[in-house]
Amino acid sequence: MDLERPSVARVYDWYLGGTANWAIDREFGKKVLTTFPAGMYCARANRAFLHRAVRHLVARGVRQFVDIGSGVPTMGNVHQVADEVAPDSRVVYIDYEPVAVAHSRILLEQHGDPARHAVIHGDLRDPDGVWEAVAQTGVVDLDEPLALLVTAVLHVQQTGPDGRDVGPEAIAQYRDLLPAGSYLVLSQITHEGLPEEIAAQLHAIIRMYDDDVSKHVLRSKAEFGALFGDFALLEPGVTWTASWHPEDSGPDTPVIDFADPSESVMLAGVGRKP
């Protein structure tokens, strides 16, 4: 665990109002907000999308969730949202950040059910290893439909041995691993279709992240849509996090009002495997 550099997961936790972050993370986050004041609201809009996607899929009959890049537990985790509407739901969390994994384990020990909730340390870039670890928890049945959640993760460069971003390849492997009838839930930052001032601020803070935290990869709407492969996108298709099924908000879903939904800077979508 490197406490000499800010962590994407811990800075994001600070944006969400969490406490699992260090001074170095808070200092970086504050620097980001001086350049991009809406950054905190964009993070919370993404968390609101996650809430709504879980509630929407529960209404469609989904009871199993696998959350890759789940981050530090704060502001309503997947199992807490799912349990509100489906007490029989099951959730496995996966993250690469040791702090996120440790805090998730503490949370689940205090408020979870070991038969229905688990957290594992894993790397999105290793789909086969992640899938095997998920199976070993015994929490979800990988032969039955489930929802795979990869939200606010893919704009962080998933670097392979040759230095390339292997995020799209990894997502393609996960699509193959998912059983028929499963859902893929994605969100990520885009550089396309943003108000001019927001776009300039975003590019400035991406340079800050690239220099001090980790490299980032932004995708166009078409590139983001391609991550779903042949999965059938649920209405309204690829849209802004702030615009995806606002009617599915729950009592604890963060409420973020933007003058224009594009100010949320993240694209979102949910696809169903045939």
CA–CA distance, 245 with 70 (Å, rounded to integer): 21
Q: What is the pTM of this model?
A: 0.95
Mean pLDDT per block of 10 residues along the chain (274 residues) reads: 82 89 94 96 95 97 96 76 93 89 82 88 97 97 98 95 93 98 98 96 96 94 98 98 94 86 97 98
pLDDT for the residue 73: 65
Q: Is 183 helix (H, G, I), strand (E, B) or coil?
A: strand
Residue 257 lies in a domain: no
Residues forming beta bridges with residue 159, ordered by sequence position: 165
Residue 251 lies in a domain: no
What is the pLDDT at residue 88?
95
Dihedral sign from CA coordinates of 134, 139, 143, 148: negative
232 phi, psi to nearest 5 deg:
-80, 120
Tell me the CA end-to-end span of the chain in Å, nearest whole number. 40
Number of domains in the chain: 1
CB atoms closer than 10 angstroms to residue 195: 15
225 with 231: CB under 8 angstroms? no
CATH number at residue 236: 3.40.50.150
> Is 250 part of a structural domain of the chain?
no
Q: In one letter, which amino acid is 189? A: I
Q: Tally the residues of the chain.
A: 274
Q: What is the pLDDT of residue 202?
A: 97
Provide the token pair at 15. Answer: 């944006």
Per-residue confidence (pLDDT) for residue 2, from 0 to 100: 66
DSSP 65-76: EEEET--S--SS
- Which domain range does residue 86 map to? 42-245
Beta strand 232-233 pairing with 64-68: unpaired
CA distances from 194 to 93, 240, 266 (A): 32, 11, 10
Compute the distance between CA of residue 112 and CA of residue 105 in angstroms, rounded to an integer. Answer: 9
Strand 232-233 to 117-121 pairing: unpaired
Say if 200 falls within a structural domain.
Answer: yes
Domain membership of residue 57 (yes or no) is yes
Whether residue 274 lies inside any domain: the answer is no
Report which DSSP code applies to 263.
G
Domain assignment present for residue 16? The answer is no
DSSP state at residue 5: S
93-130 core/surface letters (b: 16 or more CB in 10 A; e: else): bbbbbebbbbbbbebbeeebeeebbbbbebebbebeeb
Q: Taking Cα atoms as reference points, which of 58, 66, 71 lies closest to residue 178? A: 66
Is 159 contained in some domain? yes
